[in-house]
Amino acid sequence: MSLTLLLLLEQAVILTCLNSNLPVTNNNENKRRHTNMSEESSSLSTRMAAEIAECSARHIQSLIKKGKLSASRDDGGNYLIDKSEFYRVFPNAHMARMVTKSDEQNSRTALEVEVKYLKEMLAEKAKQNEFLHKQLEAANTEKNALLETLTSNQKLLEHTSQKKRKKFLGVF
């Protein structure tokens, strides 16, 4: 009687998966995935352990071979190190990782402050640039006005000096 209930339940799951476009898997695959997920959460690969301990993966493997760090092998022959065993051998790795995270947060905060400061500096420089452009434009306008005045005064002087020469010399 329970076998028929299991079959009905399995058929209902398959129909639900088909209706919702989910992949259909059998129970053995689900169990395998579940055990792999639990193994991944409680154990580390040699590469992950090396990253946390800030050393090479070969160093971790040599510790395993020397018996200083115990580990098991997975189906592919790779070492799996229990996290508690890893932190027994590398007790400061956990603290270093926490310090690294706080350092990352501090550096990120520092970078955010620096970006904010640089944006403020950029805005101030843009204001200064606009002010200097206005001053340059005013200076150019004043220069042109002075040049026009100078040119007109020069022409006026030339004109008056020519009149005086004619009267002074009288002959020419």
Instruction: Tell me the pLDDT tens digit for each residue of 144-165.
Output: 999 999 999 998 888 777 665 5
Residue closest to 86 by CA, chosen among 63, 105, 120, 109: 63
Residue 80 lies in a domain: yes
Q: Is residue 163 part of a domain?
A: no
pLDDT grade, residue 118 (50/70/90)?
A: confident
Q: Name, in order, each residue with C-beta under 8 angstroms of 63's C-beta and a sequence gap of 6 or more.
A: 69, 89
Residue 99 within a domain: no
* Range of the structural domain that residue 41 is part of: 2-89
pLDDT at 34 over 50: no
Number of domains comprising the chain:
1
Q: Whole-prediction pTM value?
A: 0.36
In a domain, 96, yes or no: no
**68 vs 171, which has greater pLDDT?**
68
CATH code at position 73:
1.10.1660.10
Residue 116 lies in a domain: no
150: in domain = no
Averaged pLDDT, 132-144: 96
> 27: pLDDT confidence band, cut at 50, 70 and 90?
very low
- Is 172 part of any domain? no
Distance CA 64, CA 82 (A): 12
157 occurs within a structural domain: no
- In this model, does residue 127 exceed pLDDT 80? yes
Q: In terms of Cα–Cα distance, which of 107, 102, 108, 94 is closest to 54?
A: 94
Burial class (CB in 10 A: 0-12, 13-18, 19+), 53: buried
Percent of the chain predicted with pLDDT > 70? 64
